[in-house]
Amino acid sequence: MEVKGKVVIVTGASSGIGEATAREFGKEGAKVVLASRRVDKLQTLAEEINKMGTEALVVQADLSKLEDIQKLVAETLAKFNRIDILVNNAGFGRLDWLENLDPVKDIQAQIDVNVMGVIQTTRQVLPVMIKQRSGSIINMCSMAGLVATPTYTIYAASKHAVHGFSEALRREVKPWGIDVSLIYPGGVVTEFTQHAGIKRKTNAKTPNFMLLTAEQVAQAVVKLVHKPRRMWIIPWLWGVSVFMNRFFPGLVDNTTINRFTIPEREDELKKM
Ligand SMILES: NC(=O)c1ccc[n+]([C@@H]2O[C@H](COP(=O)([O-])OP(=O)(O)OC[C@H]3O[C@@H](n4cnc5c(N)ncnc54)[C@H](OP(=O)(O)O)[C@@H]3O)[C@@H](O)[C@H]2O)c1
């Protein structure tokens, strides 16, 4: 699909990957609908995109609320009368041991945005794309949607759900001319880590050479519109850990437990 002149909804466009993706679509001449809760940030980005000679629409939406998602789709149709591309990007992680996560603010909230937000937004947009007999849906997954690591229980569950949802959907909607692509970035330098509340005793973190910028992920997202893919792991080197996890899960368990879980939980273990 060509991007110029197409109508694209980007959720979570107020920062990080979503912001960079919306900007990238703007550069390619798409009409961009920007959705998230922080409307001031969306307004600033909309002004920038409008200056590129295309149009941007701002819709304040909490993606955990069905009524906001319905409003997002209604306002998009009222302004542009069609929806060609949906980028389900909004999401966040709260990373801690399961027993430390708040049942509502951390657990329920992650599922509401990362899973229900993706499902309900897609559900609202789909009839429009089916009527058009064309569309491109790009779902922001994560390496955590393929390989689950300690402190990522809920986040990994949410991204595994996005993986399963997208796989089934892809096989449902292809006959209507609708493509569903999944992208699995590793670590990306964004506000994500600020919201994640990561506390580490060890030095465990994504090595710098594996870190991506939001712009790199955004460019990959736009490429997926031109050339849809079932799954795209970036950077590709993470594919090695997917392979190891699939074929040597015992080895991955032992390495993760001995190199991460036990050193991180040493003080708690000593108290027992
Ligand atoms: N950073 C990484 O290492 C990484 C790696 C793989 C995948 N991802 C995924 O990439 C996506 C974007 O994350 P990011 O790294 O760009 O983080 P970010 O900079 O924190 O951006 C998150 C975006 O999601 C939006 N959002 C969060 N809760 C929302 C809600 N209830 N309703 C509407 N919008 C909401 C935020 O907007 P408001 O606060 O304005 O609502 C913000 O625009 C997420 O799905 C994340 O899981 C990130």
Could you tell me where the DSSP H helices lie in the chain? 16-27, 39-50, 66-80, 109-110, 118-132, 153-173, 192-196, 214-226, 239-247, 249-256, 262-264, 266-271
Atom of ligand 1 nearest to the CA of 159: 47
What is the residue range of 174's domain? 7-238
Percent of the chain at pLDDT above 70? 100
Residue 251 within any structural domain of the chain: no
Residue 96: its pLDDT value, please? 96
Q: In this model, does residue 102 exceed pLDDT 80?
A: yes
Residue 206 within any structural domain of the chain: yes
| CA–CA distance, 59 with 68 (Å, rounded to integer) | 9
| Span 116-132, average pLDDT | 98
Residue 131: its pLDDT value, please? 98
Residue 266 within any structural domain of the chain: no
Structure tokens at 1: 């699909």
pLDDT single digits (tens) 62-89:
999 999 999 999 999 999 999 999 999 9
User: CATH number for the domain including 192?
Assistant: 3.40.50.720
| CA–CA distance, 18 with 37 (Å, rounded to integer) | 13
Quickly list DSSP for 201-230: SS-----GGG-EEHHHHHHHHHHHHHS--S
Instruction: Report which protein residue has its CA nearest ligand 1's atom 19.
Output: 16
* Strands (E) located in the chain: 7-11, 31-36, 56-60, 85-88, 135-140, 178-185, 188-189, 212-213, 231-234
Q: Is residue 153 lining ligand 1, measured as CB closer than 6 Å?
A: no
The structure's pTM equals 0.97
| Span 45-71, average pLDDT | 98
Residue 202: its pLDDT value, please? 83
For residues 30 and 57, is the Cβ–Cβ distance under 8 A? no
Instruction: Report which protein residue has its CA nearest ligand 1's atom 48.
Output: 188
- Mutation pick for ligand 1 pocket among 33, 34, 36, 116 (CB with most ligand atoms within 8 Å): 36
Residue 260 within any structural domain of the chain: no
Catalytic residue numbers, as ranges: 155
Residue 59 within any structural domain of the chain: yes
Atom of ligand 1 nearest to the CA of 13: 43
Atom of ligand 1 nearest to the CA of 92: 47
pLDDT single digits (tens) 170-217:
999 999 999 999 999 999 999 999 999 888 888 788 889 999 999 999
